């Protein structure tokens, strides 16, 4: 029975390691490009960089956007400008031009609307949830020091512990005698 528990523990450990490596590769390969970052159940996280939407949310907050939802007036959307910059603003008006639908947007903290209308094809998603200040944590974790402290060191500790236990250097005497 104990051998089965050991094998299950090893399989779980390997699963955690493979998952952590996979998530790390995904985070680092996307390099901030939200289109390369996979959606999870139709949602993508974004860190807000400015206070243009204050008081709705602040710089440093994380916004979960729904990439499958159609945008409507008064909803907050994230869209991509021609230079690749992401903007998260509220739709204040729907405009029809030449049979196509466009949206006029404005930051809640801005005095005037954005200078360009936004086409549906440039909208990445509609805001669904705000997590205050979580962007600071995300930035730390995805940085080299945070990644090392939060991902690498705990994995090394668990890995070394499991190896020592497997070899028999750690564990109670009964477990070592039965092995």
Q: Give the angle subtended at the CA of 158 by the CAs of 156 and 159, to the nearest 5°.
A: 60
Report residue 92's pLDDT band, with 50, 70 and 90 as the boundaries: very high
Tell whether omega for the bond before 168 is within 30 degrees of 0, i.e. cis: no
pLDDT in tens, 33-58: 666 666 778 888 888 889 999 999 99
CATH of domain 37-140: 2.10.109.10
pLDDT in tens, 139-159: 787 778 887 887 788 888 888
- CA–CA distance, 156 with 16 (Å, rounded to integer): 12
pLDDT in tens, 60-71: 898 999 999 999
Instruction: Name the residue among 74, 65, 63, 60 with its Cα closest to residue 106.
Output: 74
Domain map (residue ranges) of the chain: 1-30+143-179, 37-140
Quote the pTM value: 0.66
Contact 148, 91 (CB under 8 A): no
pLDDT in tens, 103-133: 999 999 999 999 999 999 999 999 999 989 8
Name all contacts of 32-41 with Cβ < 8 Å and 24+ positions apart.
Answer: 34/78, 34/86, 34/124, 35/80, 35/124, 39/67
């Amino acid at each position: 029975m104990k051998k089965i528990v050991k094998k299950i523990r090893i399989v779980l450990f390997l699963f955690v390691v493979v998952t952590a490596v996979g998530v790390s590769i995904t985070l680092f390969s996307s390099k901030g490009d939200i289109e390369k970052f996979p959606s999870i159940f139709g949602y993508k996280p974004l860190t807000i960089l400015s206070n243009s939407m204050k008081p709705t949310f602040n710089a440093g907050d994380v916004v979960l956007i729904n990439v499958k939802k159609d945008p409507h007036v008064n909803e907050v959307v994230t869209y991509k400008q021609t230079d690749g910059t992401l903007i998260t603003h509220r739709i204040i008006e729907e405009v029809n031009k030449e049979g196509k639908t466009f949206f006029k947007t404005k930051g809640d903290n801005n005095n005037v609307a954005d200078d360009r209308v936004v086409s549906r094809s440039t909208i990445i998603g509609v805001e669904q949830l705000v997590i205050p200040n979580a962007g600071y944590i995300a930035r730390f974790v995805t940085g080299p020091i945070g990644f090392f402290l939060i991902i690498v060191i705990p994995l090394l500790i668990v890995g070394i512990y499991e190896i020592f236990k497997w070899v028999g250097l750690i564990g109670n005497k009964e477990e070592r005698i039965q092995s």
